[in-house]
C-alpha cells in the first residue's frame, strides 16, 4: 500500500515498479511454467500496482516466445521481461542484467541519460572466481557451519581477498566440535585457517585446537572477534604454561581470566560505559567503529599501510591486560591497540608466517573492488603456504 501511494505522489515518470518473480522449470514436463508469474502480477494489480519490469528468476534464459507470453498476460512491454538466471556467483548478475538490457530499460522509462557502462572490471572478477588454475583452500572453523550463510559476510570477504590475489578461494567448513577429537585429519592439507566470531561455550575447545594446529604447523591463521580470543586463550595455556586459562564467558571461576568482561570503558563518543554479567547483552556490547593504533613492522601494519585505522566491533569480552607482559615474553605481539592503550585490538605471533587475531570485524568493510587489507594479505599468505607445500612434495 505504501509503494502504491508513493507512485501516486511521485508520478510514473519518476518511479518504477520492478517485480521479482519465479518461473520454475518442471523437469517431468520439460518446460518452464509462467502461471506463478501471472498469478503474482494479478494479485499486485488487484491492489493497484502494475509492474513496469519483471525479473524472472529461472534456471535458464527465457526464450523469446515465453517472454512474449509473459508480457501479454502480465501487461508489460516484451523488453521489460528480464531473465534473472541462476548463476554460480552473485558477481555475474550485473553482466547478466546488462546482457538482458535491464539498464537501458530503466534509463528509458525514467528518461535518464547515461553513457554505456564499462563492465570490464565485473567481467574480470567473474573470470578470476571461475579460474581453477590458481586456487587456495581455507578452513572456516565454527559451530554454525551447517548453515553456511551464517558466515555470508566472511565468505564474500574471503572471495574478495582471492580476487585481489587473482586466485579462486575454496572454503572447507569445519564443525569446531569435531575438532575436539580429530584435528589432523580435518585440517590436513589446508592452506589457511579462519576462526570467525561467535558466542557460547559449545565448540570452543575445538577452535582452540585449530589455533594450536595453525601455530605449530605454520599454517596462516586469521581469528576474528572470538577467533582472536580463543587464540589468546590457546597461547596463554600452551606458551605461558598457565593451565586452565580461559575466558570468563566460558568459565567464570577460571584462575587465569585472560579474556574477561570489561566493566568500564570510554566509548567512541567519550562517554563512560559500565556493564556487568547481569547487564542486557545487546545494550552493553562494544558496538560500531573504534580507533585502533597499529604497530609498525607487524603484518597488520604491512596490510593497512597506516598507523591509525577504524574498524567495527560487536562484542562484550576483552583481552585482559594483566597477561600482556607474559604473552609478549613468549613471542606474542600486540599489533593493534586503542589509542588510550586500554583495549587490545590485534594480536600476532612473531615467529610465524602469518598469524593475526583481531577483536573487530573487518569483513564488514570489504568490497569486491576494494578487498579488506587483512583478508587480502591472509589469502596472499595462504597462497604462499600452498605453493611452498607443493614444492616440498615435489622434492
Active site residues: 225, 361, 363
Positive or negative, the CA dihedral 179, 180, 185, 191 is positive
Q: Which residues pair with 83 in a beta bridge?
A: 56
Stated length of the chain: 395
How far apart CA 393 and CA 202 sit, in angstroms, is: 37
Nearest to 71, CA basis, from 86, 58, 59, 53:
53
Query: The C-alpha cell of 202 is what?
Result: 559449545
Q: How many C-beta atoms surround the C-beta of residue 221 within 10 A?
A: 29
151 contacts 162 by C-beta, under 8 angstroms = no
How far apart CA 105 and CA 147 sit, in angstroms, is: 37
Q: Up-side HSE of residue 92: CA atoms within 13 Å toward CB? A: 13
Main-chain phi, psi angles of 157, to 5 degrees: -65, -35
How far apart CA 86 and CA 17 sit, in angstroms, is: 22
Name the helix (H) or strand (E) containing 361.
none
Q: How many C-beta atoms surround the C-beta of residue 343 within 10 A?
A: 21
Reported in sequence order, the residue ranges of the chain that DSSP labels E, i.e. its strands, are 18-22, 25-26, 31-32, 53-58, 81-85, 135-142, 168-175, 192-195, 221-224, 246-247, 257-261, 264-266, 272-274, 286-294, 308-315, 317-319, 332-337, 344-349, 355-358
Query: The C-alpha cell of 164 is what?
Result: 585481489
For residues 143, 149, 155, 159, the Cα torsion angle rounded to the nearest 10 degrees is 150
How far apart CA 130 and CA 89 sit, in angstroms, is: 9
| Distance in Å from the first CA to the final CA of the chain | 69
Q: Up-side HSE of residue 129: CA atoms within 13 Å toward CB? A: 21
Amino acid at each position: 500500500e505504501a509503494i502504491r501511494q508513493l507512485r501516486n505522489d511521485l508520478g510514473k515518470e519518476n518511479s518504477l515498479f520492478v517485480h521479482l518473480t519465479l518461473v520454475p522449470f518442471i523437469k517431468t514436463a520439460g518446460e518452464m511454467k509462467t502461471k506463478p508469474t501471472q498469478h503474482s502480477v494479478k494479485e499486485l494489480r488487484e491492489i493497484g500496482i502494475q509492474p513496469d519490469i519483471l525479473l524472472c528468476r529461472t534456471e535458464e534464459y527465457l526464450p523469446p516466445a515465453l517472454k512474449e507470453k509473459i508480457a501479454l498476460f502480465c501487461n508489460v512491454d516484451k523488453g521489460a521481461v528480464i531473465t534473472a538466471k541462476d548463476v554460480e556467483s552473485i558477481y555475474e548478475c550485473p553482466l547478466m542484467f546488462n546482457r538482458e538490457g535491464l539498464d537501458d530499460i530503466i534509463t528509458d522509462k525514467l528518461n535518464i541519460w547515461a553513457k554505456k557502462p564499462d563492465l570490464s572490471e565485473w567481467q574480470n572478477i567473474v573470470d578470476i572466481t571461475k579460474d581453477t588454475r590458481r586456487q587456495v583452500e581455507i578452513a572456516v572453523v565454527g559451530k554454525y557451519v551447517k548453515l553456511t550463510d551464517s558466515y555470508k559476510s566472511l565468505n564474500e570477504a574471503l572471495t574478495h581477498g582471492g580476487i585481489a590475489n587473482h586466485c579462486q578461494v575454496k572454503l572447507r567448513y569445519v564443525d569446531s566440535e569435531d575438532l575436539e577429537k580429530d584435528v589432523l585429519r580435518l585440517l590436513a592439507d589446508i592452506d589457511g585457517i579462519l576462526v570467525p566470531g561467535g558466542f557460547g561455550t559449545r565448540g570452543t575447545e575445538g577452535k582452540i585446537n585449530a589455533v594450536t594446529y595453525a601455530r605449530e604447523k605454520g599454517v596462516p591463521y586469521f581469528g576474528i572477534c572470538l577467533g582472536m580470543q580463543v587464540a589468546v586463550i590457546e597461547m596463554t595455556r600452551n606458551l605461558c604454561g598457565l593451565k586452565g586459562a580461559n575466558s570468563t564467558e566460558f568459565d567464570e571461576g577460571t584462575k587465569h581470566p585472560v579474556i574477561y568482561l570489561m566493566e568500564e570503558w570510554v566509548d567512541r563518543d567519550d562517554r563512560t560505559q559500565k556493564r556487568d554479567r547481569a547487564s542486557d547483552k545487546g545494550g552493553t556490547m562494544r558496538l560500531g567503529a573504534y580507533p585502533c593504533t597499529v604497530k609498525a613492522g607487524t603484518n597488520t601494519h604491512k596490510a593497512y599501510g597506516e598507523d591509525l585505522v577504524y574498524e567495527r566491533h560487536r562484542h562484550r569480552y576483552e583481552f585482559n591486560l594483566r597477561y600482556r607482559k607474559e604473552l609478549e615474553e613468549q613471542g606474542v605481539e600486540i599489533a593493534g591497540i586503542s589509542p588510550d592503550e586500554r583495549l587490545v585490538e590485534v594480536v600476532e605471533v612473531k615467529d610465524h608466517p602469518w598469524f593475526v587475531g583481531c577483536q573487530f570485524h573487518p569483513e564488514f568493510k570489504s568490497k569486491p573492488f576494494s578487498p579488506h587489507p587483512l583478508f587480502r594479505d591472509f589469502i596472499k599468505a595462504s597462497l604462499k603456504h600452498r605453493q611452498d607445500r607443493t614444492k616440498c612434495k615435489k622434492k
